[in-house]
């Protein structure tokens, strides 16, 4: 057996963005570049950068498009491809090189995939896929951002799920991540809520479930206000509400105390619910937290830069000169109420000053596309050079999300419904159900993964309609199926716990020759590349699609590559292959925010 060794091979790390010890694909790319550089006077570094993954494993693993590296040279690219191909030596890393038009295709040697990559994955464990590309830069990610006392609609759900994923991803890539929840925690609705609480409030209910109780009150008192207006033409309650909010803005002690209580208790409850989704926040910020004088300063700056115009008594910023579609932004209405945009500008500036972020990501529905474009443009016009580091990660809408009892109001309702529906599905399979130690806990995790996978499965910009039956199915590409794939791998490890694969150097991988297993390993080698792509596109669907490919290939392997009943050497090699596969599924699910279950 030829002893390959990732640790010794990296003689020089060609590019600072190449991590051959962490990413087998980087190692192969460096080797290819080394070979190819012998045929042309191009820096290996340049060649490495131009090597792409193939879209389809039928076309090999990696590809060099000659038009890309020989773009300035006048030669017959097809003939060159053919000539190089014949001269590139096959070795323990590259088993086949073929020309296809002006492209050169490379196949990774299975010897490398088994002898090097399997041990590499198993020794990196939970860190397989992580690459230190972020270099300690800071990313501030704003996501979820519900309004206190208002329903947690599907848009918040998507923002929560996508934002949670992005936070994990950035962290895995060596960024410092500031997870921020920017609550809707200021405004007239707090006056209404306070008046409602005086009338309908119940301390016990508030402590038990502040979010539901406050919402209940909000709905009731709004109805009262409507009735008063209908019957008397004006509303005493509404006047009191306005007064309360004025008191709040003036910092009046009692008002602030009540508001703080609502806000604090709501945050406590949110924290509990987010925990079920493996999400925590570094900062619960919100509209209330943007300092008044910071907003005033922005306003003065806008005036100083002559950006504000008067339009029938309202104040506007005309952005059409920057780009026609950006239109004119109203910042103060003729009645003097100021709109959100100035506050958002001030918030962005405060965050830059506080967190010194290198990138700030807003995970906000695509209905806000225009608003965010306007926000970014105003910051640019104010000469903040960091405007280029702002990113809007947008997403489409969810239709028809409801529970059996009616409409969904809060995140909690969605998660409870997912759990209950999953319990129903599970209890239909009696004998399996009886074997599960903690069915409620397992149902909760699987139900949540069903909701999450459905959400992250398509391109985020697309709308989708919510369908409990489809997402809870164990067939097709669903969350439960992915959990099943993981737990099945775990049970193979458990059933064969007598086989010790701790000493990986003792495993004879030449015993695995099946093309199904080679395909599986070729897929596993791509995991770090999949994440790399995601951090460019901010598309969770890239990870989801990849994990299903792995799960399907594992399932294909089961039919042929058994562990039980094999001689010990074969069993060991196969078990290591399955352990590596489970590790990749585990890592991928975890980064999505899903807790993989071991038994179901």
Give CA 186 to chain center in angstroms.
28
156 is known as an active-site residue: yes
Q: Which of 407, 500, 537, 564 binds ligand NAG (CB under 6 A)?
A: 500
Residue of 137, 150, 188, 243 marked catalytic = 150
Whole-angstrom Cα distance, residue 283 to residue 58? Answer: 47
Name the residue nearer to ligand NAG (CB basis): 170 or 182: 182
Q: Which of 283, 358, 511, 590 binds ligand NAG (CB under 6 A)?
A: 511
Which helix (H) or strand (E) segment holds residue 189: the answer is: helix 188-200
Residue 365 as a binder of ligand NAG (CB under 6 A): the answer is no
Q: Which of 397, 436, 499, 504 binds ligand NAG (CB under 6 A)?
A: 397
Instruction: Tell me the closest approach of the beta carbon of residue 299 to ligand NAG, in angstroms.
Output: 11
- Residues in contact with ligand NAG, counted by CB under 6 A, come to a total of 19
Name the residue nearer to ligand NAG (CB basis): 174 or 396: 396
Instruction: Tell me the closest approach of the beta carbon of residue 311 to ligand NAG, in angstroms.
Output: 22
Q: Which residue has the tokens 């640019």?
A: 380
Note every long-range contact of 216-223, with CB atoms under 8 Å and residues 24 or more positions apart, other chains counting.
Answer: 217/149, 217/193, 218/149, 218/150, 218/189, 218/192, 218/193, 220/196, 221/192, 221/193, 221/195, 221/196, 222/192, 222/196
What residues pair up with 5 in beta bridges, in sequence order? none
Compute the CA torsion angle 56, 111, 121, 129 (nearest 10 deg). Answer: -30
Q: Are strands 52-53 and 62-65 parallel, antiparallel or unpaired?
A: antiparallel
- For every residue of 157-183, which 3-state class applies, written as one string? HHHHHHHHHHHHHHHHCCCEEEEEEEE
Give Cα separations from 439 to 15, 33, 100, 164, 422 (angstroms): 50, 53, 54, 26, 10
Q: Which of 207, 291, 300, 370 binds ligand NAG (CB under 6 A)?
A: 300
Residue 304 as a binder of ligand NAG (CB under 6 A): the answer is yes
Residue 55 as a binder of ligand NAG (CB under 6 A): the answer is no
Return the exposure string of 204-243: e unless at least 16 CB atoms fall within 10 Å of the residue's CB, then b. eebeeebbbbbbbbbeebbebbeebeeeeeebebbebbee
Which among 15-23, 189-197, 420-428, 507-515 is the span making contact with ligand NAG, rule CB under 6 A?
A: 507-515
Q: Which of 135, 508, 537, 564 binds ligand NAG (CB under 6 A)?
A: 508
- For every residue of 309-364, which 3-state class applies, written as one string? EEECCEEEEECCCCCHHHCEEEEECCCCCECHHHHHHHHHHHHHHHHCCCEEEEEC
Which helix (H) or strand (E) segment holds residue 589: the answer is: helix 568-592
Contact call for residues 142 and 180 (beta carbons, < 8 A): yes
Name the residue nearer to ligand NAG (CB basis): 96 or 227: 96
Sheet holding 359-363, edge to edge: 283-286, 176-183, 138-142, 359-363, 390-393
Whole-angstrom Cα distance, residue 352 to residue 349? Answer: 5
Instruction: Tell me the closest approach of the beta carbon of residue 570 to ligand NAG, in angstroms.
Output: 9
Residue 429 as a binder of ligand NAG (CB under 6 A): the answer is no
Neighbours of 464 (CB within 10 A): 18
Residue 396 as a binder of ligand NAG (CB under 6 A): the answer is yes
Residue 458 as a binder of ligand NAG (CB under 6 A): the answer is no
Instruction: Tell me the closest approach of the beta carbon of residue 258 to ligand NAG, in angstroms.
Output: 9
Q: Which of 333, 461, 467, 476 binds ligand NAG (CB under 6 A)?
A: 461
Whole-angstrom Cα distance, residue 472 to residue 454? Answer: 10
- The residue among 341, 337, 345 whose CA lies nearest residue 328 is 341
Give CA 79 to chain center in angstroms.
44
Name the residue nearer to ligand NAG (CB basis): 353 or 383: 383
Whole-angstrom Cα distance, residue 10 to residue 23? Answer: 12
Which among 332-340, 349-357, 373-381, 460-468 is the span making contact with ligand NAG, rule CB under 6 A?
A: 460-468
**Secondary-structure breakdown of the chain: helix, strand, coil percentages, each rounded to the nearest 5:** 60, 10, 30
Residue 123 as a binder of ligand NAG (CB under 6 A): the answer is no
Whole-angstrom Cα distance, residue 519 to residue 526? Answer: 11
At residue 403, the 3 state secondary structure works out as strand
Residue 264 as a binder of ligand NAG (CB under 6 A): the answer is yes
29 is known as an active-site residue: no
Residue 467 as a binder of ligand NAG (CB under 6 A): the answer is no
89 is known as an active-site residue: no
Name the residue nearer to ligand NAG (CB basis): 42 or 511: 511
Residue 407 as a binder of ligand NAG (CB under 6 A): the answer is no
Residue 252 as a binder of ligand NAG (CB under 6 A): the answer is no
Instruction: Tell me the closest approach of the beta carbon of residue 96 to ligand NAG, in angstroms.
Output: 4
The interface mask with ligand NAG, positions 87-106, x = CB under 6 A, is ---------x-x--------
Q: Which of 86, 503, 536, 567 binds ligand NAG (CB under 6 A)?
A: 503
Instruction: Tell me the closest approach of the beta carbon of residue 78 to ligand NAG, in angstroms.
Output: 16
Q: Which of 311, 424, 427, 462 binds ligand NAG (CB under 6 A)?
A: 462
Name the residue nearer to ligand NAG (CB basis): 430 or 503: 503
Name the residue nearer to ligand NAG (CB basis): 576 or 594: 576
Residue 381 as a binder of ligand NAG (CB under 6 A): the answer is no
Sheet holding 103-108, edge to edge: 52-53, 62-65, 103-108, 94-100
Residue 261 as a binder of ligand NAG (CB under 6 A): the answer is yes
Residue of 35, 156, 486, 532 marked catalytic = 156
Which among 121-129, 326-334, 439-447, 498-506 is the span making contact with ligand NAG, rule CB under 6 A?
A: 498-506
Instruction: Tell me the closest approach of the beta carbon of residue 133 to ligand NAG, in angstroms.
Output: 30
Residue of 35, 153, 172, 538 marked catalytic = 153
Catalytic positions:
150, 153, 156
The footprint of ligand NAG (CB under 6 A) covers: 1, 96, 98, 260-261, 264, 300, 304, 396-397, 461-463, 500, 502-503, 508, 510-511
């Amino acid at each position: 057996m030829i002893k390959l060794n990732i640790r010794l091979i990296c003689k020089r790390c060609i590019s600072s963005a190449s991590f051959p010890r962490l990413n087998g694909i980087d190692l192969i790319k460096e080797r290819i570049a080394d070979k190819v550089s012998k045929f042309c006077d191009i820096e290996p570094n340049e060649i490495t950068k131009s090597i792409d993954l193939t879209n389809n494993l039928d076309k090999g693993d990696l590809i060099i498009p000659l038009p890309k590296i020989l773009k300035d040279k006048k030669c017959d690219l097809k003939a060159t491809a053919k000539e190089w191909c014949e001269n590139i030596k096959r070795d323990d890393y590259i088993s086949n090189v073929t020309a296809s038009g002006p492209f050169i295709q490379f196949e990774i040697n299975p010897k490398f995939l088994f002898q090097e990559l399997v041990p590499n994955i198993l020794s990196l464990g939970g860190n397989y896929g992580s690459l230190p590309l972020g270099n300690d830069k800071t990313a501030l990610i704003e996501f979820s951002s519900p309004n206190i006392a208002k329903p947690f609609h599907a848009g918040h759900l998507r923002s929560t799920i996508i934002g949670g994923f992005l936070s994990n991803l950035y962290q895995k890539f060596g960024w410092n991540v500031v997870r921020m929840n920017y609550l809707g925690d200021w405004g007239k609705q707090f006056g209404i809520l306070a008046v409602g609480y005086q009338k309908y409030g119940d301390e016990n209910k508030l402590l038990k479930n502040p979010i539901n109780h406050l919402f209940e009150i909000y709905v009731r008192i709004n109805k009262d206000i409507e009735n008063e207006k209908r019957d008397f033409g004006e509303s005493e309650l509404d006047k009191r509400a306005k007064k309360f909010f004025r008191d709040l803005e003036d910092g009046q002690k009692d008002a602030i105390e009540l508001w703080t209580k609502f806000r604090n208790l709501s945050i406590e409850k949110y924290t509990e619910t987010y925990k079920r989704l493996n999400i925590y926040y570094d900062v619960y910020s919100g509209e209330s937290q943007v300092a008044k004088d910071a907003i005033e300063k922005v306003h003065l700056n806008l005036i100083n830069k002559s950006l504000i115009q008067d339009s029938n008594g309202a104040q506007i910023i005309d952005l059409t000169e920057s780009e026609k579609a950006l239109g004119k932004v109203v910042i103060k209405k003729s009645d003097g109420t100021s709109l959100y945009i100035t506050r958002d500008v001030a918030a962005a500036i405060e965050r830059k000053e506080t967190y010194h972020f290198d990138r700030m990501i807003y995970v906000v529905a695509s209905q806000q596309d225009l608003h965010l474009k306007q926000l970014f443009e105003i910051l640019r016009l104010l000469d903040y050079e960091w405007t280029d580091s702002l990113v809007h990660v947008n997403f489409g809408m969810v239709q028809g999300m409801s529970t059996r009892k009616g409409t969904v109001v809060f995140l909690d309702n969605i998660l409870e419904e997912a759990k209950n529906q999953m319990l129903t599905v599970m209890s239909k399979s009696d004998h399996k159900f009886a074997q599960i130690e903690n069915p409620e806990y397992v149902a909760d995790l699987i139900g949540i993964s069903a909701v999450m996978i459905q959400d992250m499965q398509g391109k985020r910009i697309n709308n989708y309609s919510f369908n409990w039956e489809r997402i809870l199915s164990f067939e097709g590409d669903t969350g439960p199926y992915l959990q099943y794939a993981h737990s099945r791998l775990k049970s193979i490890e458990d059933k064969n716990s007598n086989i010790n694969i701790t000493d990986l150097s003792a495993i004879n991988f030449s015993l695995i020759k099946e093309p199904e297993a080679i395909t599986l390993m070729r897929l596993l080698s791509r995991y770090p590349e999949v994440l790399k792509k995601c951090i460019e596109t901010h598309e969770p669907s890239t990870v989801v699609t990849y994990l299903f490919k792995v799960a399907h290939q594992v399932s294909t392997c089961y039919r042929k590559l058994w562990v039980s009943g094999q001689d010990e050497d074969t069993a060991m090699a196969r078990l290591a292959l399955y352990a590596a596969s489970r590790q990749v599924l585990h890592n991928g699910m975890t980064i999505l925010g899903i807790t993989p279950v071991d038994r179901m």
